[in-house]
Amino acid sequence: MNVLAYFDGAIPVQHLFLDETEKAARLSVKNGFENAEIAACDEKLRTVIDARYTGVRVAIKHYEDGVDLGFGKIESCVLVKNLARCPEAFVFAVTLGHGVDRYLARLGAASPAAHFITDALASAYAEAACDLVSRKIAEGFSARPRVSLGYGDMPLAAQPALLAFIKADKRLHITIGESLLMSPAKSITAIMGVL
């Protein structure tokens, strides 16, 4: 498969802004809900975030029942529909870094409430980082909404091949276990078709 371009970079924490709806959903509260505990957890979390991304732009090979993005054929109705008529796609990963995992582990032993809040906020920040990268790399293109393996009928089993293809282990220190969980835990992979 023809890799058209590689890209990577860091995301300064001051560029990360939480979507209020995403934040509320992760915290299981009403939209706009705030209190001192959430604010304190957010402030401390932002000091350990080391957001980074890496990925490739590839030419897509289309099949009736799937697509090949360079790391093997993925049979998925969702992906076929999402990438219809797209000649190219961005395949990328975003992570908040191992510091967030270590911080959450310490909180888990010290304060279940702070751990729950911080974990929810970290998940929302991972989504915010992925949204920011999606906008950045799609500049100048007409882009489709990003999708991730494990969504709909997209096989999560393809995750190791995707991570190896974009060299996420070397560039972001992302590893994946037998259970297909990524480390750092607050990491996201995504595929975004472009016209």
Q: Is the per-residue pLDDT at 1 higher than 90? A: no
Residue 3 has pLDDT above 90, yes or no: no
- Average pLDDT, whole number, for the chain? 96
Using left for φ > 0, alpha for ψ between -120 and 50, and beta otherwise, residue 46 falls in: alpha
Q: What is the pLDDT of residues 70-127, one digit of tens each?
A: 999 999 999 999 999 999 999 999 999 999 999 999 999 999 999 999 999 999 999 9
| Location of structure tokens 């974009």 | 166
Predicted structure pTM score? 0.94
Could you tell me the sign of the dihedral formed by the alpha carbons of 71, 58, 82, 65, in that order?
negative
Using alpha carbons, select from 141, 187, 144 the residue that is nearest to residue 166: 187
Give the domain CATH number at 64.
3.40.109.40
Report how far residue 133's alpha carbon sits from residue 10's, in angstroms, rounded to the nearest whole number. 10
pLDDT tens digits, 36-62: 999 999 999 999 999 999 999 999 999
Q: Are strands 66-68 and 3-11 parallel, antiparallel or unpaired?
A: unpaired
Taking alpha carbons only, the member of 150, 154, 146, 138 closest to residue 192 is: 146
The owner of tokens 């998925």 is 76
Q: What percent of the chain has pLDDT over 70?
A: 99
Look at the chain and report how many structural domains it folds into.
Answer: 1
Domain range for 61 is 3-194
